[in-house]
């Protein structure tokens, strides 16, 4: 059982020892572009760099981080609401010291709770975030009114797309929808499943050109990941492809992570988990 007095003491301690925590939302305009696979492997690549990373599976009702890892988590976010488990207890550990929260099924309950339960969630989440350098939200494909609040609360948004015309169109629709709500949050783009380098650059340039013309926004190309057979093999084996360090895909992802560490890609300075939670709480109660 969660103890309110203990939660208050923990919050007071956290407020005096705030950690710099970068929050990111990984989104896509449509399903099937490899968004969750990217989220997982990017999180692990950050762990390789020595960062403490929390991956939160927000794919409502269709969470698949467990599947990609070949694991069955003891707890999911649903247990916080239905079984009164603390958030710290539902955090699972993956490879390379990656920590993650499994989505399970019924995650939409997160958005149907009353203010008291939301207060409990945000208080505990603020404390949990204070233990990490990065928290990465693997969002479901597309966007809903509810999940939009999480997206608008993060420091940066990473859009995963592919060279397919429908993926580019849907990706732009996603960017436009978010932009109409907040025209300041930075957008980074990952082009997945490229057949050659020029393939990815053409895709990004198309997306960036349309975004500049109609939204007045400039995107940043975070990187490209080739359509590598090793990714399909890794998914079949339920093993993150980043662990096969000699594959083309893993090399591309590690280079992408190196670039992310550079200031020109890491465009927002870390804030802290408390600021993220405060913004999320305000947005959820405003809707």
Q: What is the pLDDT of residue 1?
A: 47
Tokens of 71: 């694991």
Q: What is the pLDDT of residue 105?
A: 63
User: What confidence tier does 275 reach under pLDDT thresholds 50, 70, 90?
Assistant: confident
126 within some domain: yes
Per residue in 192-217, pLDDT (tens digit) is 999 987 899 999 999 999 999 999 99
Per residue in 120-135, pLDDT (tens digit) is 888 888 889 889 999 9
Q: What is the pLDDT of residue 197?
A: 77
Q: What is the pLDDT of residue 263?
A: 58
Q: Could you tell me the pTM of the whole model?
A: 0.88
239 within some domain: yes
83 within some domain: yes
* pLDDT at residue 4 tops 60: no
* pLDDT at residue 257 tops 70: yes
* pLDDT at residue 99 tops 50: yes
3 within some domain: no
Q: What is the pLDDT of residue 272?
A: 57
13 within some domain: no
* Structural domain range at position 209: 24-286
1 within some domain: no
User: What is the number of structural domains in the chain?
Assistant: 1
Kindly give, in sequence order, each residue whose CB lies less than 8 Å from that of residue 127, ignoring residues fewer than 6 positions away: 7, 10, 11, 14, 87, 88, 273
202 within some domain: yes
37 within some domain: yes
Residue 50 gets the label, from left (phi > 0), alpha (psi -120 to 50) or beta, of left
Per residue in 37-56, pLDDT (tens digit) is 999 999 999 999 999 999 99
**Tell me, what CATH number does 164's domain have?**
3.40.50.300
């Amino acid at each position: 059982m969660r103890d309110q007095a203990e939660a208050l003491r923990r919050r007071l301690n956290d407020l005096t020892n705030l950690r710099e925590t970068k929050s990111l939302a990984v989104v896509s305009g449509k399903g099937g572009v490899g968004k969750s696979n990217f989220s997982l492997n990017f999180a692990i690549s950050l762990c390789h760099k020595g960062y403490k990373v929390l991956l939160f599976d927000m794919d409502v009702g269709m969470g698949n981080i467990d599947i990609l890892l070949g694991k069955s988590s003891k707890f999911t976010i649903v247990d916080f609401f239905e079984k009164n488990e603390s958030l710290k207890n539902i955090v699972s550990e993956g490879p390379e010291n990656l920590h993650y929260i499994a989505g399970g099924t019924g995650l939409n309950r997160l958005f149907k709770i009353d203010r008291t339960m939301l207060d409990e969630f945000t208080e505990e989440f603020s404390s949990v975030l204070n233990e990490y350098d990065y928290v990465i939200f693997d969002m479901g494909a597309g966007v809903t009114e509810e999940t939009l609040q999480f997206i608008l609360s993060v420091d940066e948004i990473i859009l995963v797309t592919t060279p397919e015309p429908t993926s580019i169109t849907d990706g732009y629709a996603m960017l436009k929808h978010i932009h109409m709500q907040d025209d300041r949050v930075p957008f980074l783009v990952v082009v997945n499943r490229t057949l050659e380098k020029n393939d990815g650059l053409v895709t990004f340039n198309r997306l960036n050109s349309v975004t500049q013309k109609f939204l007045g926004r400039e995107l940043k190309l975070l990187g490209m990941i080739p359509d590598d057979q090793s990714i399909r093999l890794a998914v079949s084996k339920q093993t993150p492809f980043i662990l096969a360090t000699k594959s083309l895909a893993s090399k591309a992802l590690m280079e992408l992570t190196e670039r992310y560490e550079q200031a020109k890609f890491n465009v927002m300075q870390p804030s802290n988990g408390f600021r993220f939670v405060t913004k999320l709480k305000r947005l959820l109660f405003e809707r």
